[in-house]
């Protein structure tokens, strides 16, 4: 926890840098107000050579207190500009900006023309993708898909159940895609659960740090439970392993657990929440209760 101390001159509270500091600022320690920076328009306190710390650092690094990496239209550069015609960047080395200085070193003293030489690569060639191309007329996402899967896939990112690729065993949308180094086809959730988790297997060869199995950035136990209950899980729902083994994702080993959205609720609010989210379970519980009363 930070230690606070009252200034011996003005009485204001401050955080000391060391055990012997008694004053909050140089003005309180010396008893006089430090002068302002000598640069026109700068109202900061002078630090060294009549300049503030920012202008002094610029002088140390570039030899000019007004030097900046790049000028802006709102605040044009007031110091020496690059000697290359048409370049509006500040001169930092040998009367040139850094870009033309490095060009001159690489090209035997010729800094070249003003402006960047970077060649625009255009837009990704995949229909519907507006991302800039990075290699072979593809954006980073589609270039990665082509390298790993051999197919660029849809224009947008992959989503659960909407991948643009059909299952290799039926006509449903694929949930698990072929992976480099694996010998399986694209599979929908039904065929994946039937071929792998139901038999205690998985297409993934590794586990997370906490023992859970992940399949292409998805938790396998959540995929299997979604298949079991026939719908996507909500935010307050989570799978539970009955035997406590986190990589055992057989459907019979998973059950649905629920965490209420908030704690400390009134009973009537909790009952309303349960009826709203699980009406089938409420009806079944009422029928079972009526049967018990009849007996």
For the segment 57-96, what is each residue's pLDDT rounded down to a tens digit? 888 877 778 776 554 544 555 567 888 888 888 887 778 8
Least confident range of 14-23, 125-134, 207-216:
207-216
For the segment 111-126, what is each residue's pLDDT rounded down to a tens digit? 888 887 766 678 889 8
pLDDT higher than threshold 80 for residue 217: no
Paired tokens of 268: 């009537």
Residue 5's pLDDT is what? 85
For the segment 229-277, what is each residue's pLDDT rounded down to a tens digit? 988 888 889 999 999 988 889 999 999 999 877 777 788 888 888 888 8
Paired tokens of 100: 């033309």
Higher pLDDT, 201 or 221: 221
- Cα(276)–Cα(214) distance, integer angstroms: 32
Q: Model pTM? A: 0.45
- Cα(202)–Cα(179) distance, integer angstroms: 13
- Average confidence score pLDDT of the chain: 81
Higher pLDDT, 10 or 157: 10
Residue 175's pLDDT is what? 81
Residue 120's pLDDT is what? 67
Q: How confident is the model at residue 179 (pLDDT cuts 50, 70, 90)?
A: low
Residue 259's pLDDT is what? 85
Q: How confident is the model at residue 21 (pLDDT cuts 50, 70, 90)?
A: confident
Most confident segment among 16-25, 74-83, 166-175, 252-261: 252-261
Asked whether the CA dihedral 169, 175, 180, 182 is positive or negative, the reply is negative
Higher pLDDT, 64 or 183: 64
- Cα(136)–Cα(145) distance, integer angstroms: 13
Residue 162's pLDDT is what? 44
Residue 160's pLDDT is what? 45
- Reduced 3-state DSSP string for the chain: CCCCEECCCCCCEECCCCCCCCCCCHHHHHCCCCCECCCCCCCCECCECCECHHHHHHHHHHCCCCCCCCCCCCCCCCCCECCCCCCCCECCECCECHHHHHHHHHCCCCCCCCCCCCCCCCECCCCCCCCECCECCECHHHHHHHHHHCCCCCCCCCECCECCCECCCCCCECCECCCCCCCCCCECHHHHHHHCHHHCCCCCCCCCCCCCCEECCEEHHHHHHHHHHCCCCCCCEEEEECCCCCCCCCHHHEEEEECCCCCCCCHHHHHHHHHHHCHHHHHHHHHHHHHHHHC
Least confident range of 104-113, 149-158, 169-178:
149-158
């Amino acid at each position: 926890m930070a230690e606070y101390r009252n200034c011996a001159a003005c009485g204001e509270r401050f955080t000391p840098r060391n055990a012997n500091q008694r004053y909050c600022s140089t003005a309180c320690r010396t008893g006089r107000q430090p002068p302002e920076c000598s640069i026109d328009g700068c109202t900061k306190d002078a630090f060294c050579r009549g300049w503030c710390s920012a202008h002094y650092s610029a002088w140390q690094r570039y030899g000019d207190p007004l030097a900046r990496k790049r000028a802006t239209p709102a605040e044009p550069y007031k110091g020496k500009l690059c000697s290359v015609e048409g370049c509006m960047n500040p001169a930092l080395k040998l009367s040139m900006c850094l870009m033309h200085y490095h060009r001159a070193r690489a090209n035997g003293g010729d800094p070249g023309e003003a402006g960047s030489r970077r060649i625009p690569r255009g837009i990704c060639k995949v229909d519907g993708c507006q991302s800039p191309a990075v290699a072979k007329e593809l954006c980073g996402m589609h270039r990665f898909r082509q390298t790993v899967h051999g197919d660029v896939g849809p224009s947008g990112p992959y989503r659960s159940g909407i991948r643009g690729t059909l299952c290799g065993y039926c006509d449903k949308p694929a949930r698990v895609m072929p992976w480099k180094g694996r010998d399986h086809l694209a599979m929908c959730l039904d065929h994946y659960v039937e071929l792998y988790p139901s038999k205690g297997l998985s297409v993934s060869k590794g586990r997370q740090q906490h023992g859970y199995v992940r399949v292409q950035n998805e938790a396998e136990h959540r995929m299997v439970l979604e298949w079991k209950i026939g719908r996507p899980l909500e935010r307050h729902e989570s799978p539970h392993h009955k035997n406590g083994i986190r990589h055992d994702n057989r459907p019979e080993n998973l059950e649905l657990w629920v965490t209420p959205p908030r704690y400390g609720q009134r009973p009537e609010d909790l009952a309303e929440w349960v009826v709203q989210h699980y009406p089938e379970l409420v009806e079944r519980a009422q029928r079972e209760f009526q049967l018990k009363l009849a007996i």
